[in-house]
Structure 1
Amino acid sequence: MGLLKVLVDRYVGVVAPLGSGTGHLAQPDPEMRLTVSRKEVVAADGDVVQLTLQAPDGAVLPLWHPGAHLDVHLKSGRRRQYSLCGDPADTGSYVVAVRRVPDGGGGSLEMHALEPGDTVSVRGPRNGFPFVADGRVLFLAGGIGITPILAMVRAAEFTGIDWLLTYTGRSRSAMPFVRELEQRYGERVFIRPDDEYGVPTVDDLLGAAPAGGAVYCCGPPPMLDTVQTGFGKTGAHALHFERFGAPPIVDGRPFEVQLASTGAVLPVSANESALDVIRRHRPDVPYSCRQGFCGTCRTRVLSGSPDHRENRLTADERREEMLVCVSRSDGRLVLDL
């Protein structure tokens, strides 16, 4: 019984974090070299693989909370964020799942090429989507957005709170972890593929939102837009979400960026980011989250006044740098690129 209590205390301690959970605002974590110990296909269509990462010497890894992600630094120089989808009580390994996107930025293809025995560099874990196991909860996941939600579901079940999950995707074969969810949790989980039920409406997604409870949602932009639009009509008191992909630009105005290396002046329209424009001229420019929290795209500003739309940089850093994935300007910016 004593051993059981230790395990329970450890698990509860990592699934009910205190504070705001804005771990991505902290100073950069030390880099860790981890080894792929296992690779497994977890979607019937073969396009999602689950990778288990461990320290080469078997050392204990830093604790994490459901909703956390790792920053993975690949050999190509690409940096990508992947949500942890394993068991927070397992201090010996990290588990991520990655969908192959053939026409994406190349990071998913590089992750899919990893094999047991290969090593990767990671930083983290960091958490901008923290889960607190308290009250009644509706989980909403779309496609690969199931990865952070999966860890939350496991935590919710372990702690005994009242929860439901609606899980959407293009087709059942494209949705990872379907068998595990159905077998382990039964009627608490509603698997809702678009090819069987159609594209979900507000009512389809939020009909089970608990009065006085919370909704946790992770998925593609159309799903998040639908949930945000309809949430005010539910009786739930809190909406927490994580976006896979760039957020919509709000109140954007046209401006210009000038690349100091070439002198090229690039117009940025009201509905696109500086990063989008720069990448068309400099495909090698580093980026990752496209949401203003990872810091990969931070760029020195040589002239001009940025409109900072992130919460990553300190006040001192903002005097000289900006994150080109989200921040903008009302005039011309000269960038050290």
Structure 2
Amino acid sequence: MTARSVVTVLFCALVPVSCSPGEDTGDTVEEARLLSRSGNYVQALMLFEEAVAMGDSQPSVLLDYAETAVLAAQSERSTLYRQKARVAVEVLSGRPGDVDPREVGELWRRLAWEMARHADSLQAFQCFERSLEFDLQDIFESEWLLRGTYAGNHLELLAGIPDSLTGTAADSILERAAERFLVELDRIPRARTDLREAILRAKADLLPYTGRREDELAVLTELDRLGGIEPDMRLRRIDLLLEAAGEDLARNMPAMARQKLLEVWDSNLSGERIEAAYMLGLMEEDDGNVEAALMWYRRACSVSPGSSSAAAQQAAARRDSLTYDNPGDGVTLQNVQ
């Protein structure tokens, strides 16, 4: 049974049955409050559930019921009581009356962290989502981070997009969803240096959905400089550097392109190093530096001998052409196409 099914079953169990609306629950509620104050949260919760099932919907009772349920979840640390707590806070959220909305939001927040504590990321995300409805936007920091991190790994689920629709017009929905969580991550103060690497990783997971390549590269570069970059993100960064270098060349900014290509060359990724060396060779040829171009082509060919990549084959062709056309030390651009 899924968590949602458990919540539904428990919620339905609280619907008043066979009890008159005016049935007195005062003694039950008072006993529940005494038990809760003495730390007997499970027994108190049972009595609060009984009172609510009998039709007691006073806001003060629902608040004590929800508070006790969250305390029971925190003390018992079991799935059953976490689901009971979620039901209780849902009941309070539906009929808050004159209860301070921030109190309701704080209960959602506490329950969310309890869910996260037990690796129930989806329910933690959903509880944080509910807490935002009760004026808690100004106190979130770690919560924004948890939401952003979860969204980076499960954006299709949160946006309601089936995997079969990714790569289609539905991607615009993913882009809007990603932008929303990026805005939340940007609200975390830079002073929270303890969260910075985790924030950058969450952004790095979300930015590919937006098409903002420069921002993504900047985030990955900062993460790399902080020493917190993972291998898959390092590969992504190197690929973005190659892409950005090509754009720099198209904009006639060779110095910027060279800087990026040299950084790629200094990496440990063979395929990308070959491509960078080949591009550097082409740049040297364009500048008339045939000796330097030949050096880069040879480097490209020596990175991974026998490589069948397009860049490796093109570098080998340029190397052979320059070597054949300029066998001596006095190399020129004669006959170079």
Report if TM-score (shorter chain) is over 0.5.
Answer: no
Between Structure 1 and Structure 2, the one with more helix by share is 2
Q: Which has the larger radius of gyration?
A: 2
Between Structure 1 and Structure 2, which shows a larger proportion of strand residues? 1
Give TM-score scaled by structure 1 length. Answer: 0.23
